[in-house]
Amino acid sequence: MTDTIEKNKFVSLTYSITDETDEILERIDLPVPLILGYNSQLIEKIEQALIGKKQGDQVSVTLSAEEGFGPHLPELAFTDDIANVPPEFQHIGAEVQFQNDQGETKEFRVTRIENGKLTVDGNHPFAGKTITYNVTVVEVRDPTPEEMMNGVENQTLLH
């Protein structure tokens, strides 16, 4: 008998994330293991859509910016003369960590270089976007006692 997804079931998933124009923003083809509802960090709307599904089932869940990665905050983008930026960060996609006065760090990415200016942005790349998770259930089963005790590796799926 095929297992049905419910809380505390071991589940492995593959997924893609698309934007409003169906452009693929991210694709994970290597199954991601988790125990549903057990520190899985799975977005609740996706978790709810998976309840009752079986191996081989597919679900698509659309999230507004607020449900997904939040609004795009303009105050997290900074532009400076490229000459003021170390050479190793002078390319699109470069990541740099900044620290505030309280010692908190935040990751920023170089998002634009034009007219001698470089822009870094601390927003998540999907912030401000309506996105759709297209999830395929690869496996559903009862977790082993060891998995229940120690959790499953890579439980940072989807958020």
Q: Which SS3 state, helix, strand or coil, does residue 65 take?
A: coil
pTM over the 0.75 mark: yes
> Domain containing 96: what range?
74-121
**DSSP state string for 113-135:** EETTEEEEE-S-TTTT--EEEEE
Residue 156 has pLDDT above 80, yes or no: no
Residue 159 has pLDDT above 60, yes or no: no
In a domain, 3, yes or no: no
In a domain, 153, yes or no: no
| Domains in the chain, number | 2
In the chain, the percentage of residues whose pLDDT exceeds 90 is 74
Task: Give yes or no: residues 59 and 89 share one domain.
Answer: no
Predicted local confidence at residue 157, as pLDDT: 45
In a domain, 14, yes or no: yes
Task: Give yes or no: residues 138 and 95 share one domain.
Answer: no
Q: Which residues of 25-47 are buried (b: 16+ CB within 10 A; e: fewer)?
A: eeeeeeebbbbbebebebbeebb
Give 35-59 pLDDT, tens digit per residue: 988 777 788 899 999 999 999 999 9
CATH number at residue 78: 2.40.10.330
In a domain, 2, yes or no: no
In a domain, 150, yes or no: no
Task: Give yes or no: residues 82 and 116 share one domain.
Answer: yes
Give 62-113 pLDDT, tens digit per residue: 999 999 999 999 999 999 999 999 999 999 999 999 888 898 898 999 999 9
In a domain, 96, yes or no: yes
**DSSP state string for 20-45:** TT--EEEEEEEEEEEETTSS----HH
In a domain, 107, yes or no: yes
Rounded alpha-carbon distances, angstroms, from residue 3 to 9, 36, 52: 9, 13, 9
Task: Give yes or no: residues 132 and 57 share one domain.
Answer: yes
In a domain, 87, yes or no: yes
Predicted local confidence at residue 153, as pLDDT: 62
CATH number at residue 33: 3.10.50.40
